[in-house]
């Protein structure tokens, strides 16, 4: 995430195919409201997308490796 120039609390766009959903960089689910997208570094050191209290796969309708994350200016 640092390579993108984003850090905890920053807004990001999470793009899957032709749709972009707003997300926020955080460290824990409590960093975003319930139902919101969280972009974080998981326990394996990989960038991950999650939904607080939900499923990112259901929210985005995607598969591993299909998501693109970009900073929102």
pLDDT digits (tens, 9 = 90+) for 2-50: 888 899 999 998 887 777 888 999 999 999 999 999 999 989 888 888 9
Measured at the alpha carbon of residue 44, what is the angle toward residues 43 and 50, in degrees to the nearest 5? 60
* This model's pTM is above 0.75: yes
> Tell me, what's the pLDDT at 13?
87
38-62: pLDDT as tens digits: 999 989 888 888 999 998 888 887 7
pLDDT of residue 16: 77
Q: What is the DSSP string of the chain?
A: -GGGT--TT-EEEEEETTEEEEEEE-SSGGGS-TT-EEEEE-TTS-EEEEETTS-HHHHHT--TT-EEEEE--
Q: Note the pLDDT of residue 40.
A: 93
Contact criterion met (CB below 8 Å) for 42 and 48 = yes
């Amino acid at each position: 995430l640092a390579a993108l120039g984003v850090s905890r609390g920053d807004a990001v766009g999470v793009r899957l195919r032709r749709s972009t959903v707003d997300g926020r960089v955080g460290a824990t689910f409590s960093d975003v409201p319930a139902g919101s997208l969280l972009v974080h570094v998981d326990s394996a050191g990989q960038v991950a997308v999650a939904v607080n209290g939900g499923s990112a796969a259901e929210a985005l309708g995607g598969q591993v490796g299909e998501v693109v994350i970009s900073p929102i200016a």
